[in-house]
Amino acid sequence: MVRTPDLYSRQLYGHYKVQHSLPRSSVGIRYKPMDSSISYCSRFGNQNPSLKSILASGFSRNESIMDVSWSSKLIREYMDDGFFEDAVKVYLKMLEYGVPVEEFQFFPPLIKAFGELLDIGKVREIHAHLLKFRALDDIYVENSLLGVYWKCGEAEDAIQLFWKMPVKDSVSWNTMISGFYRSGDNRGSLRTFSQMIREHGVFPNRVACLSALSSCSALESLAHGKEIHAFVVKSGFDDDFLVSGLIDMYMKCGDVKNAQYVFDDEESIRMNAVIWNVMINGYVSNGNLSQAMDLFVEMLGTSIVPDSSTMVAALVLCTELLDLAVGKQIHGWAINLGLNNDVRLETALTDMYFKCGDTKTGLDIFKSSRTRNTVMWGAVISNCAQSGFPIEALDLFHNYIIEYGFADSVLILAALRACSSLTWKSKGLQIHGLLVKSGLGSDVFIGSALIDMYAKCRDIESAQKVFYRLPDRDLVSWNALISGYAQNRSPDGALKALRTMQSEQIRPNTVTSACVLSACAYLSTVNLCKEVHSYLFRQGFGSNILISNSLIATYAKCGDVKSSWTVFQNMREKNEVSWNSVLLGLGIHGHADEVFVLFEKMEGAGMKPDSATFTALLSACSHAGRVEEGFKYFTSMVEYYKIEPQLEQYTCMVDLLGRVGDLKQAYDMILAMPCVPDDRIWGSLLAACKIHGDKRLAEVVADHIMNLDPTNIGYRILLSNLYEDYGKWNEATRIRTEIKDMGLKKSPGCSWIEVNTDIHTFIASDRSHNLSVEIYDALESLTIQIREEGYIPQSPSVTLGLNEVIDVDNISFTVENCLFVSRKQ
């Protein structure tokens, strides 16, 4: 069991000095004469009496016989027990005594293991000792140290060491090529690969090709990848790893054809499941979904056993295809193959169920999982946040924090999205605090989500603050800010931000354009809308369906229904949103008959009407006073299309009922509907009460509104006007006094008209315009004309729940406003 000291040891014996304790060691190591009583098979560690006894026995230094074999075993025991530091110290001691490095062939693995501790200070210390003892003359030791520096993330140290190496072999080069790749410096990796060949005349072996291929994949550098491919073929390298590496490289570079070529050319190697997996994943990530499915099915027909990665790839494919049925089958197979405890598979399953709409099963898998990790939590929390369960998302997020004490950027993003959709600012603030603590404050993705959260919570100031504190702004963060302004009724802010963004040389994309268009819609500035339109056309977004849909809506809201219609007609491809937008646009301009015809055409085109379609139809009926059709559509929506009416549709119906004076039914409908009434639907009824003079109901309705929103001044004024109409001056005064007492202030409502590029704004009794005399003359004659035609000029009061309630007083009549007239009853 124990070797007698060999000749070599005997020769060296004279040089050994054992008087020093080991550097920085907690325990001194002494070399001991051979002692057969020591069991080398015992394990050191807590229950390890042998080490202690060895050390405690205090070997007599003078009698010590150095034995390489003995020391080697001691080192090995230390390594096995994870005492790398002690193992290293024994080794260093041996070097100090002059034992040649070659004697310890397991030193390189020791350095490697030591590097796993990722203590760079200790690694550098050892480096110094190795230099001192000239151990770095051994290329194995040097290469190992090189690898350790890369593993510890110390690229600079590795690079320095590498270039100082007097002799570099292919392992040294390959360590550098893969080190650069793994530290994310893919260019450095390829640069080294090329230097090796060109400047040092070292030909790459298959290891070098594999690492370099990985770098090409990461850089999506097809040209370099092809060069390596050619070299691989010329060199006759032929193995599974290179084949999958090549296929992966072609797929990542988007060259599906060449990936297929490699795959088809390697029939003999196709018995390897990984190669199929790489192909399937490649097809999925390149969007070739049907080819991915075909290949998966083909694979099932072979004798190759799909592994968990195959299942994961297939599940990702089902998620993309929203194919729940196949997803469920894969779930079944996974259980049969006993793969269901694989956390990646469980995560892919969870994601698939959520995305395919089966939230319950998704949650069940998560809850019963025994292998949950952060990614799986992320899958569930993000999906809850995105699929209408923001409260559940935040609950889960909270549980995660309790369990793990931290959150990564994916979880924080999901939590912020949940806060956005709930417009729950206090929770959003908490998460903001948490992410600052987690050091994610300067993450540009999170920054954009924060901007969006604050903007949705109507706190544009905080959104601005976050934006201006971002260390880097990209298009997404600019878009978040611009959209924030647009959502917060600050179209000017949106346009100003757009200009600043452009001055920073950041080009708007389709999302920016959609936000700017919504600002245009709010400003009703048709010229600006046209400007954006032509910009989009020049940028080649002309055929973007999202953009065209925004244009249809914006032109209509700006009053240019003709342009809205033109955009719609010119669309090569239309979706449901396009149809809904044009129906809504035509409807708000009173073109009810066109809307009805178009609705038939929409169905004829194979489009499925949804809730928004019916909002558009009912709104058209409201605007045109088409009560009968309104009821018809409402009934068919519920009975034929099986669409549950939402608040929007109820608001349209209340408006319609209000128009025909059926106030009681309108009131009953509000009380009976399953959704919570908001101020708009009550406002609509209140306006109807005013028109039809139902003072009693008006008071009841007003009560509801005041409870909903005690500080809303518009409705108070509407009610006071109503009292005035019926001569109830005391009541009217009471309300006006209430408004004063509550300190409510009203910003004057204004109207505006765009003439050429100028926008002219008017408020009530406004005489500031230089043509005000002419304007008022025109207004007066128009009013007379309207009366003569048998109409009663009516203040624009309440719209159909689609727009803001317009304050009734302080309205000046522009020509546009004259459209708001009601037919004499």
Beta carbon nearer to DNA, 342 or 694 = 342
Cα dihedral 425, 430, 435, 436, rounded to 10, equals: 100
Q: Which of 238, 239, 298, 780 binds DNA (CB under 7 A)?
A: 239
Is residue 358 at the binding interface for DNA, with CB under 7 A as the rule?
no
Beta carbon nearer to DNA, 143 or 544 = 143
Q: Which of 248, 392, 648, 807 binds DNA (CB under 7 A)?
A: 248
Task: Please give the structure tokens belonging to residue 405.
Answer: 């004490």
Is residue 237 at the binding interface for DNA, with CB under 7 A as the rule?
no
Q: How far apart are CA 381 and CA 722, in angstroms?
A: 50
Q: Which of 95, 126, 262, 278 binds DNA (CB under 7 A)?
A: 278
Candidates 100-108, 117-125, 360-368, 463-471: pick the segment binding DNA (CB under 7 A): 100-108
386, HSE (Cβ side, Cα atoms, 13 Å): 15
464 close to 432: Cβ distance less than 8 angstroms? no
Is residue 245 at the binding interface for DNA, with CB under 7 A as the rule?
yes
Tokens 């400047």 map to which residue?
199
Is residue 710 at the binding interface for DNA, with CB under 7 A as the rule?
no
Q: Which of 126, 136, 216, 411 binds DNA (CB under 7 A)?
A: 411
Candidates 72-80, 140-148, 583-591, 750-758: pick the segment binding DNA (CB under 7 A): 140-148
Task: Please give the structure tokens belonging to residue 314.
Answer: 């297939």
Task: Please give the structure tokens belonging to residue 113.
Answer: 């293991």
CB of 210 to DNA, least distance (A): 6
Q: Which of 97, 241, 333, 752 binds DNA (CB under 7 A)?
A: 241
Beta carbon nearer to DNA, 343 or 713 = 343
Task: Please give the structure tokens belonging to residue 416.
Answer: 């912020």
Candidates 208-216, 442-450, 524-532, 794-802: pick the segment binding DNA (CB under 7 A): 208-216
Is residue 107 at the binding interface for DNA, with CB under 7 A as the rule?
yes
Q: Which of 194, 205, 636, 814 binds DNA (CB under 7 A)?
A: 205
CB of 187 to DNA, least distance (A): 18
Beta carbon nearer to DNA, 108 or 493 = 108
Q: Which of 337, 375, 638, 700 binds DNA (CB under 7 A)?
A: 375
Candidates 11-19, 26-34, 236-244, 253-261: pick the segment binding DNA (CB under 7 A): 236-244
Is residue 359 at the binding interface for DNA, with CB under 7 A as the rule?
no
Candidates 268-276, 573-581, 615-623, 733-741: pick the segment binding DNA (CB under 7 A): 268-276
Is residue 277 at the binding interface for DNA, with CB under 7 A as the rule?
yes
Q: Which helix (H) or strand (E) holds 512?
A: helix 510-523
Beta carbon nearer to DNA, 277 or 751 = 277
Is residue 362 at the binding interface for DNA, with CB under 7 A as the rule?
no
CB of 431 to DNA, least distance (A): 14
* Phi, psi angle pair for 762, to nearest 5°: -130, 140
Is residue 84 at the binding interface for DNA, with CB under 7 A as the rule?
no
Q: Which of 260, 281, 720, 817 binds DNA (CB under 7 A)?
A: 281
Q: What angle do CA 265, 266, 270 make, to 5 degrees?
A: 135
Candidates 241-249, 361-369, 434-442, 657-665: pick the segment binding DNA (CB under 7 A): 241-249
Q: How far apart are CA 804 and CA 786, in angstroms?
A: 26
* CA nearest to 548, candidates 567, 569, 566, 529: 567
Beta carbon nearer to DNA, 319 or 564 = 319
* Phi, psi angle pair for 109, to nearest 5°: -65, -30
201 close to 217: Cβ distance less than 8 angstroms? no
Q: 760 in helix, strand or coil?
A: strand
596 close to 602: Cβ distance less than 8 angstroms? no
Q: How far apart are CA 401 and CA 434, in angstroms?
A: 10
Q: How far apart are CA 94 and CA 96, in angstroms?
A: 5
Q: What is the DSSP string of 467-494?
A: HHH-SS--HHHHHHHHHHHHHTT-HHHH
CB of 86 to DNA, least distance (A): 20
41 close to 54: Cβ distance less than 8 angstroms? no
Burial class (CB in 10 A: 0-12, 13-18, 19+), 176: buried
* Phi, psi angle pair for 584, to nearest 5°: -65, -45
CB of 95 to DNA, least distance (A): 12
Q: Which of 13, 40, 97, 106 binds DNA (CB under 7 A)?
A: 106
- Show the binding pattern over residues 760-789: x = contacts DNA (CB under 7 A), - = does not: ------------------------------
Is residue 147 at the binding interface for DNA, with CB under 7 A as the rule?
yes
Q: What is the 3-state secondary structure (H, E, C) of 34-82?
A: CCCCCCCCCCCCCCCHHHHHHHHCCCCHHHCCCCHHHHHHHHHHHHHCC
Pure H helices in 660-771: 663-672, 679-692, 695-708, 713-725, 729-741
495 close to 470: Cβ distance less than 8 angstroms? no
Beta carbon nearer to DNA, 310 or 563 = 310
Instruction: Quote the distance between the C-alpha of residue 387 and its chain's center.
Output: 14
Beta carbon nearer to DNA, 65 or 434 = 434
CB of 379 to DNA, least distance (A): 4
Is residue 101 at the binding interface for DNA, with CB under 7 A as the rule?
yes
Is residue 244 at the binding interface for DNA, with CB under 7 A as the rule?
yes
Q: 821 in helix, strand or coil?
A: strand
791 close to 625: Cβ distance less than 8 angstroms? no
> What part of residues 29-58 is at the interface with DNA (CB under 7 A)?
none
Q: How far apart are CA 206 and CA 211, in angstroms?
A: 9
Beta bridge partner(s), residue 791: 823
Is residue 822 at the binding interface for DNA, with CB under 7 A as the rule?
no
447 close to 425: Cβ distance less than 8 angstroms? no
Q: What is the DSSP string of 161-187?
A: HHHH-SS--HHHHHHHHHHHHHTT-HH
Mode of pairing for the β-strands spanning 791-793 and 821-823: antiparallel
> What part of residues 379-408 is at the interface with DNA (CB under 7 A)?
379, 382-383, 408
Q: Which of 108, 225, 447, 609 binds DNA (CB under 7 A)?
A: 108
Beta carbon nearer to DNA, 291 or 509 = 291
Q: Residues in contact with DNA, total (CB under 7 A)? A: 70
Q: Which helix (H) or strand (E) holds 755?
A: strand 751-755
Q: Which amino acid is at 627?
A: V
- E strand segments, 269-354: none
CB of 128 to DNA, least distance (A): 18
> What part of residues 292-351 is at the interface with DNA (CB under 7 A)?
307-310, 312-313, 316, 319, 343-344, 347-348, 351
CB of 222 to DNA, least distance (A): 16
DSSP state of 791: E
Contacts of 75 (CB under 8 A, 6+ apart): 87, 90, 91, 104, 106, 110
Candidates 160-168, 238-246, 331-339, 440-448: pick the segment binding DNA (CB under 7 A): 238-246
- Show the binding pattern over residues 154-193: x = contacts DNA (CB under 7 A), - = does not: ---------------xxxx-xx--x---x-----------
CB of 173 to DNA, least distance (A): 8
Is residue 71 at the binding interface for DNA, with CB under 7 A as the rule?
no
Is residue 141 at the binding interface for DNA, with CB under 7 A as the rule?
yes
* Binding region for DNA (CB under 7 A): 101-102, 105-109, 112, 138-141, 143-144, 147, 169-172, 174-175, 178, 182, 205-208, 210-211, 214, 217, 239-241, 243-245, 248, 272, 274-275, 277-278, 281, 285, 307-310, 312-313, 316, 319, 343-344, 347-348, 351, 373-379, 382-383, 408, 410-411
